[in-house]
Amino acid sequence: MQNLKSSNAKRQKLLYYLYYTPLVYFFPSIISRLRLKNILNHSFQEEYIQSRVRYYFKKTSNFRVSNKGKNSSELFWNQFFKNKQNSHFIDFYMLLQFFNNCNKVDFIYSTKAYIDSNVAKKHPSHPTFVKSRPIGSDNQNSILLKLNKVKLFHFIKDPKKFENKKNQAVWRGDIRNNSIRKYFVKNFYKSPLFDIGQNKPNENVPWMKSFMSIRDQLDYKFIFCLEGKCISTNLYWAMSSNSVCVMPEPKYESWFMEGKLKDGVHYIKVKDDFSDAEEKIEFYINENDKCLEIIDNAQKFVRQFKDIKQERLIQLLILKQYFKSTGQYE
């Protein structure tokens, strides 16, 4: 959990890379493989664990790895020569160390490759490990893992009570290559109920606003959570706060299981064109008890992602199932 006094994204990233980069290069994978059996013999809630595994890994029949599949060594050297050990790769590579390093996987580990490949908008042709996927019944080829966790799984402890916050909804963000965000700020920045604007790119437009820290955004009762290239990255910390998340129904999901979020339970849903957003905020400003209930539900939902050992176990069970389904698990 992030302490707001030290909630600095650059600092968190630096600590992440200082800790994990030596492990990627120097930690013997045999140690992880020897630990796997004990980790899998867990004492956690069996049904809950399996329900999470089934949510992320929907494929029920056996399948083959594609001819583009790579083993952990190939993934490592591919990244090494690119000189780009990004957090997607590191998170995935550390999990692979628990299994035979000859096992092959299909994995999209570069953010740019992920977006450029259009997997974010469609589905891979083979079962593939990804950071996010479209929500729906036909996404079984997209297997979710907890990737890029240093950026996404950023939870906070909000010191401010809901009742003491401003009766407004706030949003700051990057609108580049995002028609929905651009439409939103361009058409609603004048609303007295909203404090919204773009802070990237730097342009001479009336809805241009300066950067606003998480600490300052917590002064508001409502926080807009708008999807970017795929998922909404501020949703994670916003749902752990004492403010209410406001957003259109999610179109994409990640390890955070956005597809399980319910309107009026975990967040306030607005139309895709935001035409009812002002009406919704005006209504909920006068519904203090209902807002507190939504906040409580959101925080309970967030809580399940804070158990580090349980989170690792679920991911290892997903990988185990993948290797069993592809005939690679001994």
pLDDT given at position 6: 39
SS3 content of the chain, % helix, strand, coil (to 5): 45, 15, 45
Residues 254 and 225 in one domain: yes
Q: Which of 6-15, 74-83, 298-307 has the lowest mean pLDDT?
A: 6-15
- Give residue 281's domain range: 162-303
Q: How much is the average pLDDT of 11-36?
A: 81
Which residues are CB-neighbours of 166 under 8 A, at least 6 positions away?
195, 219, 220, 221
Residues 51 and 186 in one domain: no
In a domain, 330, yes or no: no
Distance from C-alpha of 196 to C-alpha of 183, rounded to nearest angstrom: 12
Q: What is the pLDDT of residues 218-260, one digit of tens each?
A: 999 999 999 988 899 999 999 999 999 999 999 999 999 999 9
- Decide if 171 contacts 273 (C-beta within 8 A): no
In a domain, 293, yes or no: yes
Q: What is the pLDDT of residues 95-141, one digit of tens each?
A: 999 999 999 999 986 555 545 545 555 678 899 999 999 998 789 99
Distance from C-alpha of 132 to C-alpha of 147, rounded to nearest angstrom: 9
Could you tell me what percent of the chain has a pLDDT over 70?
91
Q: Is 6 helix (H, G, I), strand (E, B) or coil?
A: helix
Residues 213 and 140 in one domain: no
Nearest Cα neighbor of 324 from 103, 98, 151 is 103
Residues 289 and 176 in one domain: yes
In a domain, 142, yes or no: yes
Structural element, H or E, at residue 176: none
Please give the model's pTM, rounded to 2 decimal places. 0.90
Identity of residue 186: K
Domain total for the chain? Answer: 2
Q: What is the pLDDT of residues 153-167, one digit of tens each?
A: 989 999 999 999 999
pLDDT given at position 317: 96
pLDDT given at position 63: 96
Nearest Cα neighbor of 58 from 6, 133, 2 is 133
Q: In the beta sheet, which residues pair with residue 264?
A: none
Q: What is the pLDDT of residues 42-52, one digit of tens each?
A: 767 889 999 99
In a domain, 112, yes or no: yes
Q: Is 2 helix (H, G, I), strand (E, B) or coil?
A: strand
Residues 112 and 193 in one domain: no
Residues 181 and 131 in one domain: no
Q: What is the pLDDT of residues 170-219, one digit of tens each?
A: 999 999 989 999 999 999 999 999 999 999 988 899 999 999 999 999 99
Residues 146 and 15 in one domain: yes
Distance from C-alpha of 147 to C-alpha of 143, rounded to nearest angstrom: 11
pLDDT given at position 329: 86
Length, in residues, of the chain: 330
In a domain, 157, yes or no: no
Confidence grade of residue 19 (pLDDT, cut at 50, 70, 90)? confident
Q: Is 327 helix (H, G, I), strand (E, B) or coil?
A: coil
Residues 295 and 314 in one domain: no
Residues 211 and 318 in one domain: no
Residues 37 and 145 in one domain: yes
Residues 48 and 141 in one domain: yes
In a domain, 168, yes or no: yes
Residues 57 and 147 in one domain: yes
Instruction: Give me 42's structure tokens.
Output: 């867990």
Angle at 256 (CA atoms; ends 211, 160), nearest 5 degrees: 50
